Every structure is written in C-alpha cells, then in structure tokens.
Amino acid sequence: MTVAHMRIDNRLIHGQVTVKWVGAIGANHLIVTNDDVAKDEIQRMILPQAARGVRTSILGIDDTLAYLATQEAANEKIMIIAKFPTDALRLLEGGVEPQEINVGNQAPTPGTKFTMVTRSIAVTADDAAVYREIAQNRPLTSKMMPNDKPADFVAMLAGKKL
C-alpha cells in the first residue's frame, strides 16, 4: 500500500488540501474515506470537483482497503482524507501504513460535548481515546499547512486535559 499521507479532516476536500497539501506531498490520487460520505450522491459529485483536477475517489472504509491492495494503488502516490478519527483507526487496523498521519480540521459535531484543542480542531472524550489508539505505535501530528512545524497531537490533547 502506497499511502503518502493520511489527513483526518471532517471538512474533507477544500483549498488547503488541494492547493497546499497535494502539491507538497506530490499526491496523484485523493481518497476520501467514510462510509456515509461514500453513500451520499451529492458529496460523490461535488468532492471531485473541489479537488481541482486531482484524481479523486470517494470510498467507504472496506472499499478503501480493497483498493489499496490493488496493483493500481501500488503505482500511485495516495493521500487519504479520513472524515473522522474512527475512520482513520479502521484503516490502520486494516493494514494501512501511511508515511504520515496528520490531524487537520475537525469542526464540532452539534450536540456533543467537545473541547477546542486548536482554533479548528474540536475533540470529544471519545475522539481523544481514538486519537490515542491511533498514536500507540506511530506518530500523530497536527499542522495546518505542510510547511508548518508538526505538533505532537497526543501532547496537545494532554495539554487540554483530554
């Protein structure tokens, strides 16, 4: 599996991703992965348009894992955008080994009790537990732009008492 970068970002594809991250990583294929998004016809139509010409797939978790096991995927430089930390964890448990995992934007989910870890990352207690599990055997960072200095996301959680 050739995953250059995994970004956890519930805004999915937006200007930061297409203008800055894709170029910095050299990605030639964006995969948005989330079971609900993959079933949403409107998002399946709009998200590739937001990618500004970069090949884009909108897949559920199992379909993402199946695709990453193909020879076609082995010849690509892939950036995965996981909508939620639970999506990222399921991919990691399925054998995906990205070169880097970065927490991007996580807008608050209405009706949940959350803490703002940064101006753009809301985390619930349940999310914090998932992030810690993701980080058990690998670095988990947060940086908004590719050239920013990466911050240890678990340390950021601890700093907010999460």
What is the set of domains in the chain, with CATH numbers?
3-159 (3.40.35.10)
**Is the pLDDT confidence value at 2 over 80?**
no
pLDDT of residue 152: 98
Joined together, the tokens standing for residue 132 give 């810690």
Cβ neighbours of residue 115 closer than 8 Å, sequence gap 6 or more = 122, 123, 124, 160, 161, 162
DSSP letters along 86-152, please? HHHHHHHHTT---S-EEE--BPPPTTS--EEEETTEEE-HHHHHHHHHHTTSS--EE-SSTTSPPEE
Residue of 11, 14, 20, 132 with catalytic role: 14
Answer for the pair 105, 11: CB distance below 8 angstroms, yes or no: yes
Task: Label residue 137 by pLDDT band (50, 70, 90).
Answer: confident
User: pLDDT band at residue 94, thresholds of 50, 70 and 90?
Assistant: very high
- Portion of the chain with pLDDT greater than 90, in percent: 91
Are 122 and 77 contacting, i.e. CB atoms less than 8 angstroms apart? no
Tens of pLDDT, residue by residue over 104-136, are 999 999 999 999 999 999 999 999 999 999 999
pLDDT at residue 1 tops 70: no
Asked if residues 117 and 40 have their Cβ atoms less than 8 Å apart, the reply is: no
29 is known as an active-site residue: no
The per-residue pLDDT for 14 is: 86
Confidence of residue 66 (pLDDT cuts 50, 70, 90): very high
